[in-house]
Structure 1
Amino acid sequence: MTNQPPTLDELDSLLESKHGLQLKELIDDIYLKPGETLMWSGSWVEGFANSRSDVDLYLLGDVEGRPGKPELTAPGLPNMRMALSSGQVRLDITVVPREVVSGVGALLAAFDGDLGYPTQWSPDLREFIHRLKIGVPVLQPEVLEAQRDLIDFDKFTSYLRRFYHNRADSLLEDVIGLLDEGDAISAVLVARQRLAAVVDLYLATHGETNTRVDKWRWKKLNRLHHREHPLLQRYLEAERIGSAGSGAEPRGACEAILVFADDLLLQTL
């Protein structure tokens, strides 16, 4: 990230200003076993929380006996477990087995960012590693730091770069095939998906490793660059092009999106 995460006191003050509550009022019934830790992450820590945002907590420890639905991680690693509580403020608690953190650490240690092909991790796992990177400790902070020390976050950035680059290359082949068959409208739609993958690669290259970027993509670009930056202007033009009233033909719209994505891709290599 390009800015420092807030402190727990700052988050509590923000929560109280929006909802009249502090975190301790929401976590009274959460218990920790020895060697476990609790952290606050997600949109509140990112600085993107609004009146409808969940409070995202992660309990790193034992899933046995704790409620929630399973969330897949990666081949050979145990599932996480997520429970969402209703109320004035929705509390999203994900329990992450310690074996997930140590397993990801081992996978990243063996990963070659230049030559390696990314192991298929679930979106939930990729999101968790980012949130582990930025998370604010709530209980047992020394345990959280020990868990964080198991992850090479520079390698995580390399993993994401390779993941998004592979996706962008695959989608480019799809665009070319659609244009060859004369389906320019589908080509525009897929070209926009490719642009999204390239923007995500660009963001990861600049330290923005949040993988659930669909709703935050513009906010994160805007955090990296001021609103009038040429890159942001071209991004907005690419997203609007081909819409009603723009006058752009579908094939021309597709080509413009591809050109911008290629220009942006070159800035990440």
Structure 2
Amino acid sequence: MNVLNGSELFNIVNNNFKSFPISKIFIGNSGFMYLSGSIIEGFGNESSDVDLYIIYNEMDKKDIINQIPDFGNTISDECDEFIKYHFEYDGKRFDCELWRIDQVIEIIEELNNIKSLNDSGHHIISTSKLEFLHRLKIGVSIYNSHNFNKIKKSVNFLYLNLYTVLQMMYMQDRILEDVQGALLSKDIGTSFFSAKKLLKYAIHSYLAYFGETNISEKWIYRKLKRYSYNYNNDELLEKYLELQSTEYNELKAEDFVNRVISFCNKLNSNIYRKMESYSRYFPENEILISK
């Protein structure tokens, strides 16, 4: 398949809405469309799907769904946040997500206005919203660039970095409890494999500080490779590979678990120091205060 430009991508998507021109979705000219995903991020390959995001104005969801051929059961079940649509063209799979503009603005405001990770017990921005914000951050406009750039500039992506760091740290705390509980109960096997999970979240947290807000587990190696290249430092990648490739040995498992915990604590301490200058952004955050 030849590389498609923005106009060609727009025409392909437009032609897949039966007789319903995609321009009708953009009532008031406030909508836009952009390309994102692994191809744009530099992680994709020839077999990767093309990810398209379509931001549309106020319109009944059913009216849009009715115009999509063979829609089947491809609607997202995540709180009806968006419509998901797939089609193939020239042997290539296209994944489309359709979000209403008011939803997009609400997501951005939710991020920009966050004061603490621990609001109302524990404030969590849903995974689908975090992924959307990340995809917006790396996205490339292919229709209505003015609207796309306006919306993109309204996002505080520093907050996205910091929030992702803190959420991954929160997850580490939860997993660490499991690791330590398994050790205390002499469940060495569970503690061993839980420690490997802990390691992944520590890496996600550390890299998020440097802008790697894609928390998909499958790209963790590629993110580490990019970090190594950008900062001319292979130590983090080498340590991760060493620990993650360690095979289970019951006699050595407890020592391995303690080494993982020690390494994760080292990474977190490094991040805590780096984030001290940003504590004003999350003045109520218990994690930054207590650590």
TM range (shorter): 0.7 to 0.9
- CA distance in 2 between counterparts of 1:190 and 1:112 reads 31
- CA distance in 1 between counterparts of 2:77 and 2:227 reads 31
Give the equivalent residue in structure 2 for 1:150: 154
81 and 71 in structure 1: CA distance in 2 versus 1, 3 angstrom threshold: farther
Structure 2 unaligned spans of 5+: 66-73, 273-291
- CA distance in 1 between counterparts of 2:110 and 2:30 reads 23
User: Comparing both structures, which one devotes a greater share of its residues to helix?
Assistant: 2
RMSD over equivalenced CA pairs, Å = 2.4
> 1:241 and 2:242 equivalent?
no
Q: Deviations over 1:57-110 (max 9, x none)?
A: 00011463223503526xxxx611111113411000000111222112222232
Determine if contact 2:31/2:56 at 8 Å carries over to the other structure: yes
Give the equivalent residue in structure 2 for 1:12: none
Give the equivalent residue in structure 2 for 1:5: none
> 1:27 and 2:23 equivalent?
no
Among 249, 258, 263, the alignment partner of 2:261 is: 258
Determine if contact 1:242/1:253 at 8 Å carries over to the other structure: no
95 and 24 in structure 1: CA distance in 2 versus 1, 3 angstrom threshold: closer
Among 230, 235, 244, the alignment partner of 1:230 is: 235
Deviation at 1:51? 2.4
% identical aligned pairs: 24
Higher alpha-carbon Rg = 2
182 and 168 in structure 1: CA distance in 2 versus 1, 3 angstrom threshold: same
TM-score computed with the length of structure 1 as normaliser? 0.82
**Matched positions, count:** 245
- CA distance in 2 between counterparts of 1:228 and 1:157 reads 21
Give the equivalent residue in structure 1 for 2:2: 16
17 and 151 in structure 1: CA distance in 2 versus 1, 3 angstrom threshold: closer
Deviation at 1:27? 2.5
Correspondences of 1:134-149 after superposition (within 5 Å): 134-149=138-153
Match of 1:70, SS state, is coil
146 and 112 in structure 1: CA distance in 2 versus 1, 3 angstrom threshold: same
- CA distance in 1 between counterparts of 2:243 and 2:93 reads 36
> 1:69 and 2:75 equivalent?
yes
26 and 49 in structure 1: CA distance in 2 versus 1, 3 angstrom threshold: farther
154 and 228 in structure 1: CA distance in 2 versus 1, 3 angstrom threshold: closer
236 and 54 in structure 1: CA distance in 2 versus 1, 3 angstrom threshold: same
Determine if contact 2:224/2:237 at 8 Å carries over to the other structure: yes
Determine if contact 1:104/1:151 at 8 Å carries over to the other structure: no
> 1:104 and 2:104 equivalent?
no
Among 51, 54, 78, the alignment partner of 1:56 is: 51
Give the equivalent residue in structure 1 for 2:211: 207
- CA distance in 2 between counterparts of 1:50 and 1:153 reads 27
> 1:182 and 2:186 equivalent?
yes
Deviation at 1:225? 0.9
